[in-house]
Structure 1
Amino acid sequence: MRDDRRMILVGQFDSPFVRRVAVTLNHYHMPFTRNPISVFRDVGEMQKINPLVRVPSLILETGEVLIDSSAIIDHLDEMAGPARALTPPHGPERRKVLQAVVLGLGVMDKCVALFFERLFHIDKHINRDFEKRMMQQIGAALDKLEHDCGAPWFFDDRMTQADITLGCLVGYMKIRVPDMFPADKYPKLHHLALHCETKEDFVKARPSPDETVPGQTRH
C-alpha cells in the first residue's frame, strides 16, 4: 500500500470521461490526487498505466489499477454503498439511469471522434461522409436526451450518475464541438448543465487552461 493512501486519478479534465470520474469522487467525498498526464505528450508513461493509452485510469490505494470510466465508477458506487450510490442498485430505476448514461457516453465517444477528425485533418482531407454520420448520430441522441430530460435534474428531483455524465458531456461539447450544441435547440440539457456547473463537485473538476491537446489552443 502506498504511503499517501490516496487514490490517483490519471488524465486531464478536458476529457469528459476523466471529468465524470473526478466529479463522482468529489460527490462521494473520496480523497484523491491526480496525475494529469496526456495520452499524446506522455505516451510512454501512460502505457505503463494502461496499455491502451487511454484515460481515465484510477490507481487505488493498494496499487491496483482500474481503467474505463464506467468500470471505475462501478467500483466507486460499491465503495459508497447502495444508499449513497448515484446509480440505483437494482430494478427499473437502475435500468433508467444506466440507459441515460450509456446514451450520454455514446455521444461523448462520437464528439471526441468528431473533434479529432476535424483537428488532425486539414479541411480538404476531412472525411465528410464520416463527419456527417457522426453529426447525425450525435443529433439524434441529443434529441432523445432532450426529450427525456427533467428539471432540475435529469430525473427531476434527484441527482444520479446520468446528471454527472450529461453535465460533463455538455461541458465538453461547448469547448470542443460547440456547433453540435446550440443551447436554444437543447434548452433542457443546457439548463441541466448550468445547474451541474454551480455544484462544487463540478467546479473542482473544471479543466485548467493548460489541459489541451496537440494542435489545439484553448481560448
Structure 2
Amino acid sequence: MERRKMKELPCEDRPYEKCAAQGPEALTDAELLAVMLRTGTRGENSLELAKRLLAECQPEGLLGLMHLSLPELMELRGIGRVKGIELLCVGELSRRIWKSVVRDNVPVFTDAARISSYYMEDMRHMEQEELHLMMLNTKNTLIRDSLIFRGTVNLSVASPREIFIEALRYHAVSVILIHNHPSGDPSPSREDQRMTAQMKEAGALLGIRLLDHIIIGNQAYFSFKERGIL
C-alpha cells in the first residue's frame, strides 16, 4: 500500500500546521507522537505510524509506549535505534518535568499520597523491584533520595546497616522508605512488614525516625503510616 505523504493531507490535518495554528494542546496523542517521530516508514507517513504504535500499545496507549525499553521499542515495526532513543528521551524528560512539578508542590514530605505521586510514574511500570531511601531534615524537606538496591524481590537483602549508614552520611533526621511491587499490587508481604519493624527499631537506636514505608503499585500505594503500623 502506497503511503499518503503528509503534504498531501489537508492543512488542518497536518500536525505541524495544526500545532502552529491552534497550539500543541489541540493535537491528539497520535499527532503529538507524529511530531516526535518526524518521519514514517516506507508504507506509512508519520501520523499513520503514530496511530499504529498507539494501537499496538493499548490499553495504555502513549503512556505504555513511553515505558518500553529500547529493545522493546525496536521490536515495533517502524522504530529503529534512533527513533527508539528519541522516544526514551522524551519519556524521561516528561518524568523529570512531572517530578519537578510534584516536588515544587510538596516542599514538606509528610503526606503519603503526595509522596506516592512523586514516585508513581517512575516506579509503577518497573519489572524489577527497587528500594529508595528519602532522607529528610528537621523541617521534613528532602535532602536526598538514594537508590538502595535494584533487581530483587527479597527485601531481606536491605540491611538496616546499609540504609542508616546512608542516612548518617547525609545527616538525615528522619527517613522514608519507598519500594515498588512489579506485580502492581502494593499490599505488603510478611517480609515487607518484618523489614519495616526492623528498620523502625534500628532508626530509634540511632535517633533517626522512620516516618513511613510506602509501597508503590500500579496507580495504587500502601502507606504503613496511614494504616497506623508506624
Q: TM-score, normalised by structure 1?
A: 0.28
**Bigger strand share:** 2
Q: Tell which structure's C-alpha radius of gyration is larger.
A: 2
Q: Which has the higher helix share?
A: 1
